[in-house]
């Protein structure tokens, strides 16, 4: 009963390095999301994928790219990490758009950029 | 421009008493509201939700109230238990937006034995 699985759980990057955060869900959900959480703030949407094959920008997309690899997997890439990207990143999934349904979240990836 | 606001960063309540967490929103188009609970080093977990056609929804010890005219919702926990100590996030969305949630800043609830 894994739900939403994120890897890695922790990561330290140097400024300018790149990395990809991985996310997979086993609930056969259509929609997937990447959020970031910063101290004193709620979660903010970075990118989302309403369905397999589609991706769209959220509230704070700058500095990130995403790939919806298949229905299960949605990755987030930082091409050139900056200290402002130090945050906790959460992947989530939901049944889909046009439904009153909750999103299910992974455990998070704590990223520090030095 | 914070569309969803939780103005109390923290709340401390005695075990057995009622906890009331508040949330205000500015976008009158929001039609679905959710509360999430978050423990340290874990992801948020869904707690309870309410659609805009209702003004109350109950699930065990948890009740959410929605006042659309005031653009305000609240979460009541009765009775409060030490295990309820966590950060609670209010979130809002539109029916056709699915899991694209707009979150408040969170309220840290501490329930003391």
* Inter-chain residue contact B49 with A105, CB threshold 8 Å: no
* Inter-chain residue contact B99 with A42, CB threshold 8 Å: no
B99: which chain A residues are within 8 Å (Cβ-Cβ)? 31, 33, 48, 92-94, 101-103
User: Touching check for A4 and chain B: CB below 8 Å?
Assistant: yes
- Looking at beta carbons, which pairs linking A62-66 to residues 24 or more positions away fall under 8 Å? A64/A34, A66/A34
| Cα distances (angstroms) measured from residue B75 to each of A15, A48, B24, B36, B53 | 41, 28, 12, 11, 17
In the block, tokens 């790149």 appear at A18
A98: pLDDT strictly greater than 70: no
* First CA to last CA distance, chain A: 35
Compare all CA atoms of chain B with the CA of A5 and give the residue at the minimum distance. B43
Q: Give the contacts of A40 (CB within 8 A, at least 6 positions apart).
A: B9, B105
A48-96 pLDDT tens trace: 998 898 999 999 999 999 999 899 999 999 999 999 999 999 999 998 7
The better pLDDT of the pair A66, A39 is held by: A66
Of the ranges A5-14, A52-61, B80-89, B92-101, which one carries the lowest mean pLDDT score? B92-101
CA atoms within 13 A on the CB side of B8: 16
pLDDT at A97: 66
pLDDT at B21: 98
pLDDT at B94: 86
pLDDT at A85: 97
Mean pLDDT of chain A: 94
Mean pLDDT of chain B: 95
Provide the 3-class DSSP secondary structure of residue B74: strand
pLDDT at A58: 94
For chain B, percent of residues with pLDDT exceeding 90? 92
Of the ranges A86-95, B18-27, B33-42, B87-96, which one carries the lowest mean pLDDT score? B87-96
A24: pLDDT strictly greater than 90: yes
B97: pLDDT strictly greater than 90: no
pLDDT at B98: 67
pLDDT at A39: 86
Using pLDDT thresholds of 50, 70 and 90, give the confidence band for residue A34: very high
Q: Which of 25-54 (B) contact A at CB < 8 A?
A: 32, 34, 36, 41-46, 49, 51
pLDDT at A1: 65
B52: pLDDT strictly greater than 70: yes
CB pairs < 8 Å spanning A and B: 72
For chain B, percent of residues with pLDDT exceeding 70? 99
B104: which chain A residues are within 8 Å (Cβ-Cβ)? 42
């Amino acid at each position: 009963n894994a739900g939403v699985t994120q890897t890695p759980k922790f990561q330290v990057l140097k400024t300018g390095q790149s990395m990809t955060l991985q996310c997979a869900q086993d609930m056969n959900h259509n929609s997937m999301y990447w959020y970031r959480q910063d101290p004193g703030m709620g979660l903010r949407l970075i990118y989302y994928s309403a369905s397999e094959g589609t991706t769209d920008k959220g509230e704070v997309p700058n500095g990130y790219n995403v790939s919806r690899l298949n229905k299960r997997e949605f990755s987030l890439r930082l091409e050139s990490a900056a200290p402002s990207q130090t945050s906790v990143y959460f992947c989530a999934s939901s049944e889909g758009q046009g439904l009153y349904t909750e999103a299910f979240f992974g455990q998070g990836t704590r990223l520090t950029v030095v | 421009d914070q569309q969803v606001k939780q103005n109390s960063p923290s709340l401390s309540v005695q075990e057995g008493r009622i906890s009331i967490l508040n949330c205000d929103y500015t976008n009158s188009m929001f039609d679905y509201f959710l509360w999430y609970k978050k423990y340290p080093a874990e992801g948020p977990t869904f707690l309870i939700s309410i659609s805009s056609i209702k003004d109350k929804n109950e699930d065990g010890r948890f009740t959410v109230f929605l006042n659309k005219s005031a653009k305000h919702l609240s979460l009541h926990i009765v009775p409060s238990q030490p295990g309820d100590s966590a950060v609670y996030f209010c979130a809002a969305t539109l029916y056709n937006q699915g899991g694209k949630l707009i979150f408040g800043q969170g309220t840290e609830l501490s329930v003391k034995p």
